[in-house]
Chain A
Amino acid sequence: MKSWLRYAGQAVAYAAFIALLGFFATAPAYSPIDPDAAMIKLSFVHVGQRKVECRKLSPEEIARLAPNMRLTLDCPRERLPVIVELELDGKLLSRRELAASGLSHDRASSIYQKFVVPPGRHLVAVRLRDSARTEGFDYTRSTEVELKPRQNFVVDFRAEAGGFIFH
């Protein structure tokens, strides 16, 4: 093959290669959700109350313990599961019973959930139970929110801050 033809062939091959690179490095554009939709994220890390209440040890029981391990209370480690509900416009979006993590179920319960919702005015209500009660909830909060397209509405929870936090 003539040398100019070879060089032209190489130029075409390189051009095709960089066109492939240049195009697929940024295109086609990708949308993980509908660009006209909004998102609600429910996420928190919270330690439920103890499954068994602490019990005060008697002097005899304390005496039986090793001197360096003497405590006045016996507190079993296991934690209760945390129950959480999320409602949107009066309709239940999610109800989860979150087991405590850890081998002994003595650590925090956690959740991370996403919901794609239509934009517009919505009533968001959340409820959480972290105690041994069988009915009702320990924390509740609701709000009316105007969600814009692409808005990321976050529902967090921090007991020390008084309960649910909306971002």
Chain B
Amino acid sequence: MLKQIRQAGPWLLSRIEKMYSAAFTPAWNPFYHLGALTIFFFWVVVVSGVYVFLFFETSVTHAYESVEWLTHTQWYLGGVMRSLHRYASDAAVVTIGVHMVKEFITGRYRGARWFSWFTGVPLLWLVFPLGITGYWLVWDQLAQYVAIASSELLDVLPIFSDPMARNFLTNESVSDRFFTLMAFLHLIGLPIFLLFAIWLHLLRISRPTVNPPLGLVIGSLAALTGLSLLWPALSQAPADFSLVTTGIGFDWFYLLAYPLLDYGSPALMWLVLVGSSTLLCLLPWLPPRRRKPAAVVSLPDCNGCGRCVADCPYNAVSLAPRTDGLVYANEAVVDAELCTACGICAGACPTSTPLRRKSEFVPGIDLPGLPIRSLRDWTLAAAVQPGGEPGTRVLVYGCASGVNLAALRHSGVAVVELQCIAQLPPAFIDFVISRRHADGVLLLGCRENDCHFRLGVQWTDERLAGKRDPYLRARVPRERVATYWGGQVTQAEIASKINAFRARLRALGPYRPAPVTQSTYEVAP
């Protein structure tokens, strides 16, 4: 049952993402840019917030009036900015929520990835107070509720000598000083900490994407602006402490937990908040633990070229001065704590070629759990499998992390599993075709922009196109190489791709290598 639930998550996510990819294209699919979209919404909040603040009066007596003036008198700009401020902050909560659920479902929070997950939890503790203090400043009925409820929540902690909620007993007891404190927290204190926390969250990621594609920026901004014009954010009745607030227009994105205070207790709310945060923090270490052994460097085979360093998506490989006395200046060094065992480094290593004539096939850097030597053995084993129409034999290299390879095994093709599609050195494709182990090579990986190991699909595309070292050699006939970045595809989908590829190979006829010329050894343009 538990296994079925675990499998249902990725399946459902894959269906939704596929739908969005059809509408947005994989390049603009919002599900592949959730973190960057959140950061974009943050900047919308900052810019609109600065504009709103220009007209805002930080005082109990005039705050409400100033916001009302901005909303109604200057509705065409101030009102829109206020609405953008609110809706962009709500949108950020949505993207954060979906981002978390997605990373959880796809298991991208375990092993070396614990750091980004773990540092995401304090981000939540900054984002929610940032939104809540913003509602406080409007000084309407919602602000009144938020002020009292938040104070009651904080009063449970032994940090104030007098109950903070006493500041909101009557209309006379509210002071401007408190208002100034809230304004400081909302405008300066929390945003600065939030920026620092975002930096920390991305610290261990190589080439983090902090800006969504332009299409998504334009689309999201247009949608939020449209919403701001159609349904502008409005204040409720002004705060009045002689009355209890009821029937409040509630922002459920930020205040979802608050009913726990009223229908439970402040202690219960703390228990839920701290308990769920602790659970989130511990998730990466809870069973089942599946950490795979980190990549290892074989110094006699490493010339310190740095290709593995350039390709590692998690900054786990670096160059250090040579320690073994060989003539090279540097050697690759793996930080096991940061390594996700994706194998992209092995795929980037120029020594990972099955074509080289050496008795022992050991690349400069490799995965102990899935060495390149095994890939060659499996490739050779797969190539001798009987059956299949001559001239249409397809060898599939598939990424086990993001692709449903089980669907493939029923499709009558030979499959070699990799950790990530970029673990495959391009020389293997040359090896398979030039030695006629198969008539064509099909590479299967995660959906574009959604690689399980972030950059595997991108690096593979660039290697095949001759834009990234190690290149696929020019002599390899490109028409015999196909890629399909489909992620969790169904058996029917993959069968259709394979049949189409076989038809292409059939039309091409048997492979005949071109005569050897100088250009054979050059890279593809």
Contact = CB atoms under 8 A, between A and B. Distances in A.
B244 A32 contact: yes
B300 to A, nearest CB: 52
Interface string A13-26: 11101101110111
Contact of A18 (B24, B226, B248): B226
A15 B262 CA distance: 34
Contact of B87 (A25, A28, A151): A25
A25 B166 contact: no
Interface stretch (A37-45, A48-56, A67-75): A37-45
A65 interface: no
B253 interface: yes
B397 to A, nearest CB: 28
Contacts of B243: 150-152
B91 interface: yes
Given A22-B87, A25-B87, A41-B169, A32 B23 contact: no
Interface majority SS (helix, strand, loop, mixed), chain A: mixed
B23 A9 contact: yes
A150 B241 CA distance: 10
With most chain A CB atoms within 10 A of its CB, the pick from B22, B155, B252 is B252
A10 interface: yes
B227 A21 contact: yes
A88 interface: no
A30 B22 contact: no
A66 interface: no
A104 interface: no
Nearest to B254: A25
B82 interface: no
B259 interface: yes
Contact of B219 (A10, A101, A110, A154): A10
B245 interface: yes
B152 interface: yes
B246 A33 contact: yes
B246 A43 contact: no
A17 B244 contact: no
Interface in B1-44: 19-20, 22-25, 30
B170 interface: yes
Contacts of A15: 223
B161 interface: yes
B246 A107 contact: no
Contacts of B162: 45, 108, 110
A13 B20 contact: yes
B247 A31 contact: yes
A21 B249 contact: no
Interface residues of A, number: 44
Contacts of B152: 112
Contacts of B220: 14
A167 interface: yes
A113 to B, nearest CB: 10
Contacts of B222: 14
Contacts of B255: 30
B253 A32 contact: no
A24 B253 contact: yes
Interface string A88-125: 00000000000001100001101110000000000000
Contacts of B30: 13
A26 B25 contact: no
Given A10-B219, A26-B251, A21 B94 contact: yes
A39 B169 CA distance: 12
Nearest to B225: A18
B165 A43 contact: yes
B174 to A, nearest CB: 13
Contacts of B23: 1, 6, 9-10, 12-13
Given A21-B87, A21-B94, A33-B262, A43 B248 contact: no
Nearest to A1: B22
Contacts of B230: 22
A125 B384 CA distance: 95
Interface in A121-167: 150-152, 154, 156, 167
A35 interface: yes
Interface of A: 1, 6, 9-10, 12-15, 17-18, 20-22, 24-35, 37-39, 41, 43, 45, 101-102, 107-108, 110-112, 150-152, 154, 156, 167
25 contacts: A9-B19, A9-B23, A10-B23, A13-B24, A14-B219, A15-B223, A17-B94, A24-B251, A25-B251, A25-B253, A29-B247, A29-B248, A30-B258, A31-B248, A32-B244, A32-B245, A33-B262, A41-B169, A43-B163, A110-B166, A111-B163, A112-B155, A112-B166, A150-B243, A152-B242
Given A31-B246, A154-B169, 5 more contacts: A24-B90, A29-B248, A32-B245, A33-B244, A107-B161
The 6 closest A-B pairs by CB, nearest first: A9-B23, A26-B249, A30-B250, A35-B246, A112-B163, A31-B246
